[in-house]
Amino acid sequence: MTRRQQIIEILENQKATAQYLANIFETTLKEILEDFKHIEKSIKPKKLKIIPAYCKSCNFVFKERSRVSKPTKCPKCRSEWIETQRFYIG
Ligand SMILES: [Zn+2]
């Protein structure tokens, strides 16, 4: 099974951050995001969905920006307790 197939299997069963996948496959975030692009094409009609990053302190939801950038501070309450955006296939 290729890495992309394994990623598909993981994301069909759980929600995961790109960093988590990078750790599992011992690769870089960049590689994982590259995989995502291909995965999006190969899983149709299913979709790679994103749960946006949010502030665990006040529940402020960050707009989907780049897939890599992780907000460091909440603009509303200034907390740094941020949950990174997560991905899943649905
Ligand atoms: Zn906040």
Angle between the N-to-C axes of helices 29-42 and 3-13, in degrees from 0 to 180, rounded to the nearest 10 = 80
Range of the domain at 71: 3-89
Q: Domains in the chain: how many in total?
A: 1
Tokens of 25: 């496959």
Would you call 77 helix, strand, or coil by DSSP?
Answer: coil
Span 5-51, pLDDT tens digits: 999 999 999 999 999 999 999 999 999 999 999 999 999 999 999 99
pLDDT (0 to 100) of residue 63: 82
CA of 64 to the centre of ligand 1 (A): 16
**Confidence tier at 71 by pLDDT (50, 70, 90):** confident
Report the alpha-carbon angle 74-75-81, nearest 5.
10
| Spacing, Cα 39 to ligand 1 middle (Å) | 32
User: pLDDT at residue 64 above 70?
Assistant: no
Tokens 């990078």 sit on residue: 22
Element (H, E) at 49: strand 48-51
In the reported structure, the alpha carbon of residue 21 is separated from the centroid of ligand 1 by a whole-number distance in angstroms of: 26
Q: How much distance in Å is there from the Cα of 88 to the middle of ligand 1?
A: 24
Beta bridge partners, 48, equal 89
